[in-house]
Amino acid sequence: MNMPRNTSELNMASIQMVSTPNLNENLEVAARLTKAAADSGAQLAVLPEYFCLMGLKDTDKVNAREAAGSGPIQERLAAMAQENNIFLVAGTIPLEAKESNKVLNTSLVFDPVGKQIARYDKIHLFGFQTETERYEESETIAAGNQPGQFAIRLNEVDWRFGLSICYDLRFPELYRSLGTVDCHIIPAAFTYTTGKDHWEILLRARAIENQCYVLASAQGGIHLNQRRTWGESMLIDPWGEILSQLPEGEGFIQGTLSKDKLKEVRSKLPALKHRKL
């Protein structure tokens, strides 16, 4: 695995896609971009929400669901992590839920040997309606009920991450419940309508109020189902500054997490220690 010169730094990549209804095609794109990120020095890469399938209808993901721990999507993801010697936060995939007509929208984390080390099932389900748009995730997705997080150790340095997905971004209490982390990782498929007004400001708020990095991986473009997603995958530092971003289209961004920067922000403005509630 490629290591930055400073062992208190971690090289991260956020992959942006414009996923299609073709599962195998999406997996090929994800594999290609993950390899490109790893070849560029990324030690951890993040795929976007629905990276494996942006169906022509909502029920397509129910038909593509897998049992936890087995299935071609999960096998391919484990192989991608192992082949590239990288930690991989695998956006979201559809896993079996108790209700046969629904799925869990699940983010899985794999280590560089291809072992699954964390899982988070999306808690907050998106609902939005205008005269021209309607989204109701609860019709095909079952909500999770446990916050997600994971930790890794590289070169004798510990890193702690929070896991959340897309619509979760609007619920700051979720991030507070996870405590102090180095970085919140957020795979997403924000709509163009909500993204243009709220995406950046919400991401920067989560970074500022939690004094941590935020790495968001997005869908970004017009899909074959005519849905348009906002894009703007970005890495934000603990002071709320955008370090890297990709407006639209397929590709990836890269940046570095710094323990020194985290300490600097938290020492000069110890807001986390000033909390009363």
Q: Which of 9, 102, 166, 212 is catalytic?
A: 166
> Is 122 in the active site?
yes
Pull the structure tokens for residue 180.
């102090």
Q: Which residues are CB-neighbours of 261 under 8 A, at least 6 positions away?
A: 237, 238
Please give the angle made by the CA atoms of 43, 191 and 257, to the nearest 5 degrees.
20
Q: Alpha-carbon torsion 181, 215, 275, 170, what sign?
A: negative
> Is 133 in the active site?
no
> Is 166 in the active site?
yes
Cβ atoms of residues 103 and 96 within 8 Å: yes
Cα–Cα distance measured from residue 78 to residue 91, given in angstroms and rounded to the nearest whole number: 13
Q: Which residues are CB-neighbours of 174 under 8 A, at least 6 positions away?
A: 123, 124, 147, 164, 168
Residue length, the chain?
A: 277
Cα–Cα distance measured from residue 198 to residue 236, given in angstroms and rounded to the nearest whole number: 15
Look at phi and psi of residue 179 and say left if phi exceeds 0, alpha if psi is from -120 to 50, else beta.
left
Tell which residue, 168, 170, 130, 127, has the closest CA to residue 147. 168
Cβ atoms of residues 209 and 203 within 8 Å: no
For 224, the 3-state DSSP assignment is coil
Cα–Cα distance measured from residue 134 to residue 30, given in angstroms and rounded to the nearest whole number: 28
| Neighbour-count burial of 260, counting CB atoms closer than 10 A to its CB (0-12 exposed, 13-18 middle, 19+ buried) | exposed
Q: Which of 9, 49, 232, 248 is catalytic?
A: 49
Would you name the residues annotated as active-site residues? 49, 122, 166
